[in-house]
Homo-oligomer: A and B are copies of this chain.
């Protein structure tokens, strides 16, 4: 996709400029998709914001949905990076048993999902624009793996009781996603955050092995 490049020529200005236009397109599309949604955003709007023409868009991407896929991939990637960053920071700063660590992890996960771009593009538009299969493949690749790893480790360590990881991962992700949307939409974000966190906390206690 990014040019066959048979000989490696030390990152020419040419190739650099090409990557620039592509990035500009993705960035512009990301902003507009997040603001107005997929269908309400015309390709003309995107190329205008990126200061190129429609020819550039259709040279780099198969069609409009393909551009959206790139945008959503970037959003998911950003979220994943932010999560691992938080995760590592909390792992070395905080201390405690694995169970409380996991619970706090979910709470910060909830906070991380409080991002307009992510919510609109990945959670709302994504499933409708790309099919279910394509959307799931993207999320599987970027986001679910982290959550699944964390949960697997929690089971191995005995923090939570053994359960099928597949549905557990999806359902917890959906739970947190909905909670983040609820918070974002609420008039009073403060109390909404507190209440949603409380409900999440209660639901998670059901997973704990302490009451097995």
**A-side interface residues toward B, CB under 8 Å?**
37-39, 124-125, 127-129, 132, 136, 161, 163-164, 166-168, 170-171, 173-175, 177-179, 181-182, 185, 192, 195-196, 198-200, 202-208, 211
Contact = CB atoms under 8 A, between A and B. Distances in A.
Contact of A128 (B125, B163, B200): B125
A129 B136 CA distance: 20
Contacts of A175: 171, 174-175, 178, 203
B164 A198 contact: yes
Nearest to A170: B182
Most chain B C-beta atoms within 10 Å of own C-beta, residue among A39, A198, A203: A203
Given A124-B127, A177-B174, A207-B206, A167 B185 contact: no
A170 B125 CA distance: 19
What is the copy number of this chain in the assembly?
2
Given A161-B202, A202-B207, A206-B202, A128 B38 contact: yes
A124 to B, nearest CB: 5
Nearest to A183: B167
Contacts of A206: 202-208
Contact of A198 (B38, B163, B199): B163
22 contacts: A124-B127, A124-B132, A125-B128, A128-B129, A161-B202, A163-B199, A166-B195, A167-B195, A167-B196, A168-B199, A170-B182, A171-B175, A171-B196, A171-B199, A171-B203, A174-B177, A174-B178, A203-B206, A203-B207, A205-B205, A206-B206, A211-B211
B39 A199 contact: no
Contacts of A161: 202
A181 B131 CA distance: 13
A38 to B, nearest CB: 7
